[in-house]
């Protein structure tokens, strides 16, 4: 199936597999048996992590699957710790293409001018572009998404971050940033 990919897609796969320790071949965008073997190893790594740490809601699963496997492991540990929180937690986004990141960067700058910017990172400068970042959302018992735009939401995200930090070391939360503080991430 992957053999019908464009060279840029194959190159992305080669790089992802290399970063995850599954591929040592050339980064040339050319399909080969080595690339297929690496893709299979990558899928096996992801399945092993999933089987060891559990599964979550469909949206979270889709976004975890977009991350490199070391980040998948931390994301699953994150979600496991989040299960003790008093609200529903979901991973809302994971890896983004450069085009997706550029579209987000444009909000409040060149499009949707009535909105505040939603990211300070252009494509290539966001950890989302490299499969190592995810955004999280909290939902109350009525299903309302806490967008962080009021004091109650802010306090809830801070409480959630405190819980997560007790379980997972070395995790960066946008709520701790000095500039462009983004609590719901």
The pLDDT tens digits for 93-144 are 999 999 999 999 999 999 999 999 989 999 999 999 999 999 999 999 999 9
The per-residue pLDDT for 5 is 85
Asked if residues 156 and 82 have their Cβ atoms less than 8 Å apart, the reply is: no
pLDDT digits (tens, 9 = 90+) for 81-107: 999 999 999 999 999 999 999 999 999
Cβ partners under 8 Å of residue 62, min gap 6? 94
Query: Position of tokens 């690496």?
Result: 38
Q: Is the pLDDT of residue 167 over 80?
A: yes
- Integer angstrom CA distances of residue 158 from 129, 148, 185: 26, 10, 11
CA-based end-to-end distance of the chain = 34
pLDDT > 90 fraction of the chain, expressed in percent and rounded: 84
37-55 confidence digits (pLDDT tens): 999 999 999 999 999 999 9
Confidence of residue 185 (pLDDT cuts 50, 70, 90): low
User: What is the domain partition of the chain in residue ranges?
Assistant: 1-53, 56-95+131-185, 97-129
- Taking a C-beta distance cutoff of 8 angstroms, is the pair 93, 134 a contact? yes
Once rounded to an integer, what is the mean pLDDT over residues 135-159?
93
More confident residue, 146 or 184: 146
DSSP 17-62: HHHTTS--S--SS---HHHHHHHHHHHHHHHHHHHHH----HHHHH
Task: Determine which of 132-141, 165-174, 175-184 has the lowest per-residue pLDDT on average.
Answer: 175-184
Least confident of 2-6, 29-33, 70-74: 2-6
Q: 56-95+131-185 — its CATH code?
A: 3.30.1380.10
CA angle 69, 164, 41 (to 5 degrees): 10
């Amino acid at each position: 199936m992957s053999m019908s990919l464009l060279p840029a897609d194959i190159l992305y796969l080669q790089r992802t597999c290399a970063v995850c320790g599954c591929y040592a071949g050339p980064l040339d965008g050319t399909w080969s048996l080595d690339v297929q073997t690496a893709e299979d190893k990558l899928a096996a790594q992801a399945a092993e992590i999933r089987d060891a740490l559990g599964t979550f809601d469909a949206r979270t699963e889709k976004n975890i699957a977009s991350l490199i496997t070391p980040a998948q492991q931390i994301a699953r540990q994150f979600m496991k710790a989040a299960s003790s929180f008093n609200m529903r937690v979901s991973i809302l986004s994971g890896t983004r293409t450069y085009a997706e990141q550029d579209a987000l960067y444009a909000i409040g700058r060149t499009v949707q001018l009535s909105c505040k910017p939603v990211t300070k990172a252009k494509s290539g400068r966001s950890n989302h572009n490299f499969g190592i970042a995810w955004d999280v959302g909290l939902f109350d018992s009525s299903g309302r998404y806490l967008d962080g735009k009021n004091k109650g939401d802010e306090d809830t995200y801070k409480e959630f971050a405190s819980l997560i930090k007790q379980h997972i070391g070395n995790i960066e939360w946008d709520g701790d940033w000095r500039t462009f503080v983004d609590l719901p991430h």
